[in-house]
A and B are shown apart, each in its own frame.
Chain A
Amino acid sequence: RKEVEQDPGPFNVPEGATVAFNCTYSNSASQSFFWYRQDCRKEPKLLMSVYSSGNEDGRFTAQLNRASQYISLLIRDSKLSDSATYLCVVNQAGTALIFGKGTTLSVSS
């Protein structure tokens, strides 16, 4: 079983749509959780951290379910500029980040 698993997509949605990405992780000792965004041929950039209580940043909402070892990212009112690959990332204290393969989103007009 891979440490971090994501549906690779691609997810093709029209502008204004709501889209959700899911991610599961295998190590129950994982302590920190993130979503990174990676544009084509660019470096990954932190989109948001994921907290146990869930957190929201504008149109983006992240949720964590520790019991199910499951993380989600919801994007509301999708924009063309949201087209990118979204990487689910976990780590344990003091260790490096473990990345999923990423989920590709394509938003069309």
Chain B
Amino acid sequence: EAGVAQSPRYKIIEKRQSVAFWCNPISGHATLYWYQQILGQGPKLLIQFQNNGVVDDSQLPKDRFSAERLKGVDSTLKIQPAKLEDSAVYLCASSLGVGDEQYFGPGTRLTVT
């Protein structure tokens, strides 16, 4: 079974630039999550989708971050404009449903200079 796919794997941008990350969840998984993991910390949830609807985006910095899952499958996470403190690994995870085991993708490592 194919796992969660993410791209790109690495991205280096300058502050104030924009960046977008893509995630393709495991086939059939209705729930999709985006996490931010800063070095030395555990992953922190940014946004959770159930199909194409947002379940929880309380920790998403909405002034600069946006995410969508228009057709209930793939998802994109965008940062515009980026700040130095956005340097982190952005992890996408999916699960069959809310409360089910989450499977993580390999992550996108973002460096903002």
A interface, CB within 8 angstroms of B: 4, 8, 32, 42-46, 87, 89, 91, 93-102
B33, B43, B48: which has the most chain A beta carbons within 10 Å? Answer: B43
What 0/1 readout, one digit per residue, does chain B (90-113) give for beta carbons within 8 Å of chain A? 010000001101101111000000
B106 touches A43 (CB 8 A): yes
Tell me whether chain B's interface is mostly helix, strand or loop, or mixed: loop
B45 touches A97 (CB 8 A): yes
Query: Which chain A residues lie closer than 8 Å to B102 at the CB level?
Result: 46, 97
Taking A44-B43, A99-B43 as known contacts, 20 extra A-B pairs with beta carbons closer than 8 A to each other, sorted by chain A number, are A4-B42, A32-B99, A43-B91, A43-B105, A43-B107, A44-B104, A45-B104, A46-B101, A87-B43, A93-B99, A96-B33, A96-B45, A96-B48, A96-B56, A97-B43, A97-B102, A98-B45, A101-B40, A101-B41, A102-B41
Identity of the chain B residue whose Cβ is nearest the Cβ of A42 in the assembled complex? B106
Given known pairs A43-B105, A43-B107, A96-B33, the reply for A87 and B42 (CB within 8 Å) is: yes
What 0/1 readout, one digit per residue, does chain B (63-92) give for beta carbons within 8 Å of chain A? 000000000000000000000000000010
B interface, CB within 8 angstroms of A: 33, 40-45, 48, 56, 91, 98-99, 101-102, 104-107
B106 touches A102 (CB 8 A): no
B98 touches A94 (CB 8 A): yes
Query: Which chain B residues lie closer than 8 Å to A42 at the CB level?
Result: 106
Q: How far is the CB of A13 from chain B (nearest CB, A)?
A: 21
Identity of the chain B residue whose Cβ is nearest the Cβ of A34 in the assembled complex? B101
Query: Which chain A residues lie closer than 8 Å to B101 at the CB level?
Result: 46
B106 touches A94 (CB 8 A): no
Query: Which chain A residues lie closer than 8 Å to B42 at the CB level?
Result: 4, 87, 89, 99-102
B44, B98, B102: which has the most chain A beta carbons within 10 Å? Answer: B102
* Partner among A8, A45, A94, A99 whose Cβ is within 8 Å of the Cβ of B44: A99
Query: Which chain B residues lie closer than 8 Å to A32 at the CB level?
Result: 99
Identity of the chain A residue whose Cβ is nearest the Cβ of B102 in the assembled complex? A97
Expressed in whole angstroms, the Cα–Cα distance for A101 and B37 within the complex equals 10
Expressed in whole angstroms, the Cα–Cα distance for A60 and B41 within the complex equals 23
